[in-house]
Amino acid sequence: MTSKANGNPDAGLRSLNHYQTILPKWRYLIRQAILPLIRYETPYLAWMQEKLRSPALDTYFAIAANLGTHTFFTIFLPIFYWCGHPPLGRGILHVLASGVFFSGFVKDLLCLPRPLSPPLQRITMSGSAALEYGFPSTHSTNAVSVTIFALAQLQSPDNTLSPLATTALQIFLYIYVFSIVLGRLYCGMHGFLDVIVGSVMGAVIAWLQLRFGPALATYVVTGTFKEAAVIALITLALVRIHPEPADDCPCYDDSVAFSGVFLGAQIGTWLAPLSAPAWTDHDAEVFIPYDLESLGWFKTIVRLVIGILAIFLWREIAKPLLLRALPPVFRVLGKAGLLLPRRFFRQAFEYKTVPGHLKDDNVLPSFSDIPNIITSIRHPRRRAVSVGPQSEADAYETLAYREQRRRDSTLDSSRSSGRRPLMPGRGVPQVEKYEHMMGTGSPEPPSPEQSRRKDAPSDEVAGAIEQDMFARIKKPRVRYDVEVVTKLIVYSGIALLVLDVMPFVYERIGLAP
C-alpha cells in the first residue's frame, strides 16, 4: 500500500487493507474482532436516535456534553484548590488525567471508528470531537470516574456538608453522569460498546484513586527529589510509549496535555510544603489557606477570577515563546539522532517556523476562542448536526463497510455454505432501512439500481469514489514535533501556577485569610 507524502491516501487505495498494512498484526486482529460489534449496533443506535430526538433534547445533550470536556474540567478543577479543598481537586485531577490518557491510549491502539454516519446524525458543539476514534468513549470515562469518586467523598465520614446539601449533590451527580453517557448515544457520537467500555474504565480508575490515591499523595509530599523524579520519569515514559495511530487522530494531543497537568501537579504538591502559603497536616496532605467566613463572597470571586485569568495569561505567553524557541533545539537534537519522531508530526528540519497561535487546543481555549464558546452556549441552536464521514477513520470505515458488503453480496452460495452475511436480516423494517444507509456516505437510502452499481464498482470507479470521500472530510491541521514538549511544559506550568504561585499571589494582594 502506498500513500502520498502529505498523508492523504492515493486514489484507489483498498480500504479493507489500510489498517492491516499499517497496524501490527496483534493490534489489527483485536480491532477486527471488535469491529463487527460496532457495525452491528449502528442501525439500532440510529433507530433509537430517531425515536428520541426533539429540538429540546438536541439542545440539552449538546450543552451537557460540554460538562464532560477537558476545557470544563481544566477551568473548574482549580476552584477546589483555591477554595479549601485541595484533596478533592487532586483526586479529581488524577482520575481525569488517567481517564483521558488511557482512553486515548486505547483509541490510538485499536483505531476503531465511531458508528457510521449515516445512518446516525452527529450532534455536537465541538467539531474536533469527531476527528478522534470512537472506542472507548472518553466522555463516559471522565463522567463515571468523577461521579464515583465524588459520591465516595460525599459518603465519607469527613463530609461536613448538611444532609440536604449532600443529597442534592448526589442527585446532581446521578443526573450528570446519566446525561453525559446517554448523551453520547443520543448525539450519535458513540455506540453502546464505546460507552460501556468507557464507563468500566472510569469505574476502575475511580477505584484505583480511592484505594491508592492517599498513598501516592504521601509518597510525593514526604519524598525527596528522588521520588519526584520517579513520578516524572514514569509520566514521560507513558507519553513516549503512547501508540502511533493509523490515521491522523488528535487523541495524543489530549493525552499529552493532561499528562502535563498530572506531572505539574505532582511536582507542585512536592514543592508546596516548602512555600509559605501552604503547609501539611499529620497525613501529609497539602492545603492552601482559605476561609469563606473571613474572606467573604466578593473576595472569593475576585480570587477565582484572578486565578483563572492567570492560567489563560500563562498559556498565551508561554506557548508562542516555546514554539519559537524549541525548533532550533530540536534540529540540533535531530542531527544527533536523539529524537524519536511520531507519525503525523512534522520534524523540525522540515519547517522554518511554527505559527505562534495554533488552533490546536481542545483542552484549554485561547482568549480569542472565548467569545465563540459563549455564543455557542447562549445560542445552542447553532450546534452542528452532521451527516456523513467527518474524519479519515470515518471515510475508511464507510468504504470498508461498502466493500465488505459487496464481497458478501457476490457470494450467492453464502446461505447454503453456512457463511454468515455481514449483517443478518433483522426483521425490523426501520432497522433494515438504517442498515441500507451504512456505507453509502449519504443520508438518503440508495435505490436498488444504485446499490447494485455501488456494490460492484470497477477499480477506476472505486478509486474515484474513495478520492471523493477523502476530499469531502475535514483535514486535520499540520502538527509540529515541538508541540509535544510545548504542551508538557505549558500544562505542567498551569498545575504549578495553581498549587504554588497563586497562593503566594493571594497572600501578597490581600486575598488570603
DSSP one-letter string for 231-247: HHHHHHHHHHTSPPPSS
Largest CA distance in the chain: 83
pLDDT digits (tens, 9 = 90+) for 166-184: 999 999 999 999 999 999 9
Examine the residue annotation and report whether 139 is marked as an active-site residue of this protein: yes
Query: Number of C-alpha atoms within 13 angstroms, CB side, residue 103?
Result: 35
Q: How many Å apart are CA 420 and CA 483, to the nearest integer?
A: 47
Which pLDDT tens digit goes with each residue over 378-397? 554 445 677 778 888 888 88
Residue of 18, 70, 94, 139 with catalytic role: 139
Angle, vertex CA 385, rays to CA 380 and CA 386, nearest 5: 150
At a CB cut-off of 8 Å and minimum separation 6, what does 388 contact?
A: 117, 118, 394, 441, 442, 443, 472
Could you give the residue ranges of the DSSP H alpha helices within 424-481? 429-437, 448-455, 459-472
pLDDT in tens, 293-316: 888 899 999 999 999 999 989 988
Strands 345-346 and 279-280: unpaired
Q: What is the pTM of this model?
A: 0.84
Tell me which of 18, 70, 190, 242 is the catalytic residue.
190
User: In this structure, are residues 60 and 179 in contact, taking their beta carbons and an 8 Å threshold?
Assistant: yes
Residues 227 and 222: their CA atoms lie apart, in Å, by: 9
DSSP character at residue 478: P
Main-chain dihedrals φ then ψ at residue 346, nearest 5 degrees: -75, 135
Cell numbers for 336: 544527533
DSSP assigned state of 65:
G
Phi, psi for residue 122 in degrees, rounded to 5: -100, 120
pLDDT of residue 126: 62
Percent of the chain with pLDDT over 70: 76
Cα of 508 vs its chain's centroid, Å? 37
Is the model's pLDDT at 207 over the cut of 90? yes
